[in-house]
Amino acid sequence: MGKITYPTGVENHGGSLRIWFSYKGYRVRENLGVPDTPKNRKVAGELRTSVCYAIKTGSFNYTTQFPDSPNLFRFGLESKEITVLELSKRWMELKQMEIANSTFSRYESTLRSLLPRLGKNKLASAVSHEDLLRIRKDLLTDYQGNATWKPAKAVLGRTVPTVNAYMRVINGMFRFAFNSGYITKNPFAGFTSLKKAKTLPDPLTREEFVRLIDACNHQQYKNLWSLAVYTGMRHGELVALAWEDIDLKAGTIMVRRSYSVTKEFTLPKTAAGTDRMINLIQPAIDVLKRQAELTRVGKQYQIEVKLREYGRKLTHPCTFVFNPAMTTRNDIEAGHYSAGSISKIWERLLKRAGLRHRKAYQSRHTYACWSLTAGANPNFIASQMGHANAQMVYHVYGTWMSDNNLEQITLLNQKLSAFAPSMPPDRLKEA
């Protein structure tokens, strides 16, 4: 029997064929898993030739040609195919260290809604730009609910701001997948947010405010909503407000913490809002004096406050200004309201007062609008509300502020007329 000859780069390894070739300066071998037969030797030789040519011309893709090769790990080319569900788990695990728990909870809610639409067991690399556009369309138009039936009339889906927020979350997940090498192209490339109408503030008028306060059936409710309007504080900040933060003699509040929807104390929403000093107007001071009679000598709690730096916490001694035990027979151990509970109180008061429905957040808008009407500097308002600068004030209230142009002209006539140089009568005749 004659000696078996093999094409260049083809060899027998344990009864099956393998090829060898040079890649990135290394000599590598790949098992083909086929028996050593004359026909297979010829095919192996042709494969080896095509591989060498692809390497030479720069078109060789190791992962595609040998997807199960142990050499992929050697060259950092191991396959990173991953399902949408597994991708979401890895992303959320790493994302948790850089976002607040309230934001993390919102991300979880978004993923619960969108993972079934994306396909939990679908490969992340298989999600296309068109898939995302269709999901967005469905979110805007589909009936919301788990029922299998559809209503007789079309029911609009989620709002544009909500859909944009959902897509921003998923965009972050796929950007992570792209940067980590799980996908070779981000399906969100070229994806733009939906245009949304600007939401105008809907503040209480002075007459509506009086009706709201008159509708309160307890002094603490009167005090709470009066302070909300007189200071513009966020509801989470009002819930977390303690007497230790207030100096009635100086007329100030130091905003040091907030209470989140995830039932934990955190720093206020923005860095500019942390440890900010609110200068109280006299009606706000009067409100706090009335509230002091109810809760100033209450129980002091040692509250754990989560800082922005991951894992860090501080303990604040807190005697809460607004204590639900004042208004309910239930045994309230926490000593403070939740942000959601005071929103429900607001809704009940609007109904009782016969006022048009608006969200409780309008108490904050009412403070800003009233302050602007009174002629307060927008930069001062921004600092009181916890914004970094007046840009947010101009952005949110710019349209509303234009309604006061006539008042501003009257003010300028009163204040600046004395500065305008008067022209002598002779000059007027010459003109």
- Written as tens digits, the pLDDT of the chain (431 aa) is 568 899 999 999 999 999 999 998 899 999 999 999 999 999 999 999 999 999 999 888 887 788 778 887 777 666 677 899 999 999 999 988 888 888 888 999 999 999 999 999 999 989 999 999 999 999 988 755 444 434 444 445 888 989 999 999 999 999 999 888 888 889 998 889 888 877 788 899 999 999 999 999 999 999 999 999 999 999 999 999 999 999 999 999 999 999 988 788 988 876 655 678 999 999 999 999 999 999 999 899 998 998 877 778 899 999 999 999 888 765 455 789 987 889 999 999 999 999 999 999 999 999 998 888 888 888 999 989 988 788 888 888 776 666 666 666 776 677 666 665 555 655 545 54
Pairing of strands 26-35, 246-247: unpaired
- Rounded CA separation 394/12 (Å): 77
Enzyme catalytic residues: 234, 269, 364, 387, 397
Q: What is the DSSP letter of 404?
A: T
Q: What is the DSSP letter of 259?
A: E
- Rounded CA separation 414/162 (Å): 47
Residue 385 identity: M
What are the tens digits of pLDDT across the range 351-405?
A: 999 999 999 999 999 999 888 888 888 899 998 998 878 888 888 877 666 666 6
Check: CB of residue 178 under 8 Å from CB of residue 186: yes
Report DSSP letters for 308-374, one per residue: SSTT-EEEEEE-BSS-GGGT-SS--SS-S--HHHHHHHHHHHHHHHTPPP--TTHHHHHHHHHHHHT
Where are the alpha helices (H) located in 119-251, listed in sequence order? 129-141, 160-179, 206-214, 219-231, 235-240
Check: CB of residue 15 under 8 Å from CB of residue 36: yes
Domains of the chain (ranges, CATH numbers): 10-74 (no CATH), 84-179 (no CATH), 206-359 (1.10.443.10)
Residue 373 identity: T
- Rounded CA separation 190/179 (Å): 17
Check: CB of residue 8 under 8 Å from CB of residue 45: yes
What are the tens digits of pLDDT across the range 25-76?
A: 899 999 999 999 999 999 999 999 999 999 999 888 887 788 778 887 777 6
Q: How far apart are the first and last CA of the chain?
A: 124
